[in-house]
């Protein structure tokens, strides 16, 4: 077992924890602010200095987020999930976010490459990478992928829960893989530098996405089927291993009912970290990250109730989704959710450098590999 960082005081240059390939591509002036030696004494100090990335944030409640809440999160960046209802709605959503970033230069920068996350950390800002949880904005035309890319899209999930022209979602009655059109979509995403995400994809579509993508793929918000059996959103050990073998990253989702049954008793923050630890054992320490799948503020803070959140999902999602109320793990329904995760990882004996990888450096390496300069 690795020696816990709590047992000794260690001087670690943060730059040593960032992949050398990435650092070599950064301008000297851009990296200097990150390379000075830092005395790490506590896990909270480690968290404050870390690059912290969230695999997916839902942005519908964005107007209710204060500067204080965003600062408290410690986020360096996140994937913003935008409106995928149609091409028109997708472009409007992208435009709204570009305007939000322009109007709040003290808070945000647009993320289109790995370098943007380094810049955000150095400038104490948050880098926002825009994308979609479905390929429906393509509207039968792969050429629309180029339009979306030019408008700032850098990640796209192949399917949501249902079948689309690309393939089957995770709750579809059938389990077909990628269609011929779907394979062509993946090829164009690879060529442009749009990340292929497989979070809500069906089993066969997930397998095909890993197989047919020329670059690494993400599963930006999911969990381990080995620990939450028969949930359609979970990924098997074989899939996690195949994704990791190709260089990808899985973000462990923070929604409590996705992690396990009986929230508050059987399913707790420790259960969440169990999923992280299992994914690390299966896929390796370089291929696991974090993901919320709700607003930065948390669900309760944004007004989620049994009436407006839980009951609508009983009709939107099939029973296999196992939706519960309340849906959150308390420690993860806060702005500083990943600070709580870091503390548990530390108590379990994870090394400092491995905690930093899970918090954000694994995503950083993945973006260096997949996004175009």
pLDDT tens per residue across span 287-314: 999 999 999 999 999 999 999 999 999 9
CA distances 278 to 62, 118, 241, 252, 261, Å, are: 33, 29, 11, 11, 17
Strand pairing class (153-157; 126-132): parallel
Domains and CATH numbers, the chain: 49-370 (3.20.20.140)
Strand partners, 253: 291
pLDDT score recorded for residue 40: 52
Bond from prior residue into 326 cis (ω within 30 degrees of 0): yes
For the chain, the distance separating the N- and C-terminal CA atoms, rounded to the nearest angstrom, is 39
Confidence category of residue 39, pLDDT binned at 50, 70, 90: low
* Segment 152-178, tens digit of pLDDT: 999 999 999 999 999 999 999 999 999
Structure tokens at 225: 């089927």
| CA 232 – CA 229 distance, rounded (Å) | 9
State yes or no: pLDDT of 112 exceeds 90. yes
Overall average pLDDT of the 276-287 stretch: 98
CA distances to 227, 325, 342 from 351, rounded to whole Å, are 23, 35, 11
**Angle between helix 203-212 and 180-192 (nearest 10):** 50
pLDDT for 77 beyond 60? yes
Kindly indicate the confidence band of residue 60, based on its pLDDT and cuts at 50, 70 and 90.
Answer: confident
pTM, rounded to two decimals = 0.90
């Amino acid at each position: 077992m690795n020696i816990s960082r709590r047992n000794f005081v260690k001087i670690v240059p943060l730059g040593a924890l960032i992949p050398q390939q990435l650092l070599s591509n950064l301008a000297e002036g851009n990296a200097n602010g990150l390379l000075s030696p830092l005395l790490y004494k506590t896990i909270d100090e480690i968290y404050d200095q870390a690059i912290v990335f969230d695999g997916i944030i839902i942005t519908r409640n964005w107007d209710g987020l204060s500067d204080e809440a965003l600062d408290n999160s410690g986020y360096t960046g996140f994937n913003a999930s935008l409106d995928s209802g149609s091409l028109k709605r997708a472009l409007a959503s992208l435009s709204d976010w570009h305007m939000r970033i322009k109007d709040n230069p003290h808070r945000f920068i647009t993320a289109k490459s790995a370098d943007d996350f380094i810049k955000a950390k150095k400038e104490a800002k948050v880098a926002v990478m825009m994308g979609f949880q479905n390929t429906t904005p393509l509207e039968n035309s792969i050429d629309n992928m180029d339009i979306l890319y030019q408008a700032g899209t850098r990640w796209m999930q192949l399917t949501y829960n249902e079948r689309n022209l690309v393939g089957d979602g995770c709750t579809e009655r059938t389990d077909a893989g990628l269609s011929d059109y779907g394979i062509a979509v993946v090829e164009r995403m690879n060529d442009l530098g749009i990340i292929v995400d497989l979070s809500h994809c069906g089993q066969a579509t997930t397998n095909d996405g890993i197989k047919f993508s020329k670059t690494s793929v993400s599963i930006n918000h999911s969990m381990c089927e080995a620990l939450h059996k028969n949930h359609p959103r979970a990924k098997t050990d074989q899939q996690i291993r195949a994704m990791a073998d190709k260089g990808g990253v899985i973000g462990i989702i923070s929604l409590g009912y996705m992690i396990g049954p009986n929230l508050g008793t059987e399913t707790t923050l420790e259960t969440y970290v169990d999923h992280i630890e299992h994914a690390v054992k299966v896929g390796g320490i370089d291929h696991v990250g974090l993901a919320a799948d709700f607003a930065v503020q948390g669900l309760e803070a944004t007004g989620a109730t049994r009436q407006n959140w839980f009951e609508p999902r009983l009709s939107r999602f099939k029973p296999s989704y196992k939706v519960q109320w309340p849906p959150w793990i308390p420690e993860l329904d806060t702005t500083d959710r990943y600070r709580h995760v870091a503390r548990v990882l530390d108590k379990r004996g994870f090394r400092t450098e491995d905690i930093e990888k899970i918090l954000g450096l694994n995503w950083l390496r993945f973006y260096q590999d997949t996004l175009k300069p």
